[in-house]
Structure 1
Amino acid sequence: MQLNLADGTILCIDLCETHNFNWLESNFGRIFSVFDQQDSGNISFGCIRSNSERIFIKYAGARPSSFDGLPSDAVARLHRATTVYQDIQPHEHLLAMQMAFSVEETGGFVLVFPWLNRAECLHSHWVYPPPAKYEHPQSPYYRFRQLPLEQRLIALQAIFSFLEHVDRLDYVAIDFYDGSIMYDFDLNTLKICDIDLYEKIPCRSALPPWGSPRYLSPEELSGDSLLDHRTNVFRMGACAFGLIGGELDRSRLKWDASDSLYQIACRAIADHPRDRYTNATEFLYKWYQARETLKANSQSKQ
């Protein structure tokens, strides 16, 4: 679909059918970016308001070509997400929702967020699909993996801090993976986005599950299994393997950090939930304890 903007620019959006987007410019100013390759049914836009403020708009109600479901289901999910954001924010590493509202003209629903000027998504599949994600020198994931180990460990600590916050609030981080991580390479800071599908504990798995196979726990793949704090623990371990290990190759050979951290990550991703840490706080305590021991040993040798 071609969208004719007020300044004469023609914007192409990959949709199954035409859709009314007149409300977008009239409410939020000039559109400068479109993200239409998500399987959630949402389409996102970067807009510049009259005061030069940049914002990120997430919209459900259209039918993107990459989406197999019903627009009404996408609208219901995004509407439900407002409660998730209200429950979980604020957190220093969460991209916070600014507002939410229904679009009368289309029956759609909108969430509004601040625009992150320099941050890049670590799973930019629409620009760097695998294997380019792992090999292209401009790929955000590739560049992240080239950072010094300590810098990546600091980034992991930020992610773990957020996931522990989520766990303490009795939510399961459904659909969390590296596509949820926005990294600023200039400032070496990160934000977590896309918490739309997080669910209150206890909840049940659904097939097909939301998320990446690289981050999914065994119970999420079985259908109608209980998801709880130990599912979050698995997610934290999988994230560690994703950022300082070999993703699904969880061998010691692919692990960049210490043996002690490797053993902690391995327990976190145990196949059976009862063999993992009880919750995110216990995992994080063990992880921090190992980090502090390593630092102390390093300083004593100097």
Structure 2
Amino acid sequence: MPTLTTSLAEIAGSRDPRGMLDSLGQVFAAFEDQDSGCRSYGIADREKRWFVKLAPDAATAATLRSAWRLHTAVAHPVILAPVAFTDLGERAGIVYPWAAGSVLYHPTNSHRPDRSDPSSPIHAFRAQPVPTVARVIDEIFDAHVAVAATGFVAVDFYDGCMLYDPPTATIRLIDLDHYRPGPYTVGTQPVPGSTRYLAPEERSPGATVDERTTVYTLARAALILLDEGDKESAFRGTPAQHQVLARATSADPADRHASVTQFVAAWRAAQRAVRADCAD
């Protein structure tokens, strides 16, 4: 009997992928207005629930190809790993296990959410106690230590890649479709990404993107997640933690921590200082 994974190539190449998915199980969620250009579905079959992401053209197929290349190189509990991939050149498809939760920020072609809206996932996340937020940030950082160890750099990482499940306080990283081996040189085409997370060099054709760029992106994530609101005017961490993040987001890459490992070590040293002060 055909299954989701054995039929993936046929689904990805079909003019009616939704219809094919309906024949294989229950489609319980559809994401067809994504700004990435991909179309995604939640489907339950006899085995379990899955997340299917389909690329309808060559440009989007290239992003799923990049995602598969990353996942074959990097394994980490926080990074949601796919179970199947098909590459048809002009089209592609990838299957992940379904994970509970909501992405902290979910832009689409027709809607840009307000992060300050009390009903938004990121607003609710920021209302969590500081130790909870700090633990999530630690897990995100730890995952990127594993990424950097393989030579990949973070590209287009932002709060839309963070899937958080409040009941279990679990974070998963998803949609890491633009990560690539580094260092690389910025071309004439813009580097994809949220303006709130892009490093200065990512906006400069001819500039080098390397591990220091990932350091910048991770520090921006911490600054955004630990802010009390959305104006970055009420940082909930300590002065020592803010000092680490300030260095990591220096405009000149040479002024930042030289590696993700060094940055995370500095961040954790600042955390230990907080615990020591509390113990006193």
1:219-274 CA-to-partner distances (Å, cap 9, x unmatched) read: 00112311001001101110111101379855xx4211100000000000000100
Asked whether the equivalents of residues 61 and 87 of structure 2 are also in contact (C-alpha less than 8 Å), the reply is no
Partner residue, 2:224 = 242
Alignment match of 2:197 (pick from 215, 229, 239): 215
Q: How does 1:206-285 map to 2 (within 5 A)?
A: 206=187, 207-245=189-227, 253-285=233-265
Q: Which residue of 2 aligns with 1:96?
A: 81
Does 1 or 2 have the higher relative contact order (CA < 8 Å, sep 6+)?
A: 2
Deviation, structure 1 residue 128: 7.6
The CA RMSD over aligned residues, in Å, is 2.1
1:124 Cα deviation after fit: 2.4
CA displacement at 1:50 relative to structure 2: 2.6
Where in structure 1 do 4 or more consecutive aligned residues deviate above 6 Å?
none
Q: Distance in 1 between matches of 2:241 and 2:80?
A: 28
SS at structure 1 position matched to 2:133: helix
Normalised by the length of structure 1, the TM-score is 0.82
Residue-by-residue CA offset, 1:88-117 (whole Å, 9 max, x unaligned): 1x201011111112469xx53110001013
Alignment partner of 2:69: what SS? helix
1:153 is paired with a residue whose SS is helix
Q: Secondary structure at the match of 2:106?
A: coil
Letter in 2 for 1:147: Q
Asked whether the equivalents of residues 64 and 177 of structure 2 are also in contact (C-alpha less than 8 Å), the reply is yes
SS at match of 1:135: coil
- Gaps of at least 5 residues in structure 1 are 1-17, 62-70
Q: CA deviation at 1:81?
A: 2.5
How far apart are residue 80 of structure 1 and its match?
3.6
Q: CA deviation at 1:178?
A: 0.3
2:116 match: secondary structure: helix
Q: Percent identity?
A: 28
User: Is the 1:215–1:238 Cα contact (8 Å) retained in structure 2?
Assistant: yes
Q: How does 1:1-302 map to 2 (within 5 A)?
A: 19-21=15-17, 22-26=19-23, 28-51=24-47, 53-61=48-56, 71-88=57-74, 90-102=75-87, 108-117=91-100, 119-126=101-108, 129-131=112-114, 133-136=115-118, 138-206=119-187, 207-245=189-227, 253-300=233-280
Q: How far apart, CA to CA, are the structure 1 residues paired with 2:237 and 2:196?
A: 19
| Contact 2:66–2:180 (Cα < 8 Å) also in 1 | no
- Aligned in 2, Cα 1:249/1:139: closer, same or farther, shift over 3 Å? closer
What are structure 2's unaligned runs of at least 5 residues? 1-13
Deviation at 1:125, TM superposition (A): 3.1
Question: 1:128–1:139: 8 Å Cα contact kept in structure 2?
Answer: no
Question: Alpha-carbon deviation of 1:288?
Answer: 0.5
Aligned length: 264
CA distance in 2 between counterparts of 1:257 and 1:279 reads 22
Read off the aligned partner of 2:60 and give its amino acid letter.
A
Q: Matched residues in 1 for 2:25 and 2:88: separation?
A: 16
Quick one: structure 1 residues 231 and 135, their matched pair in 2 at CA, closer, same or farther if it must change by over 3 Å? same
- Secondary structure at the residue paired with 1:134? coil
Query: Counterparts of 1:268 and 1:82 in 2: how far apart (Å)?
Result: 29
Give the Cα–Cα distance (whole angstroms) in 2 for the partners of residues 191 and 154 of structure 1. 13
Residue 232 to residue 103, structure 1, CA distance change in 2 (3 Å):
closer
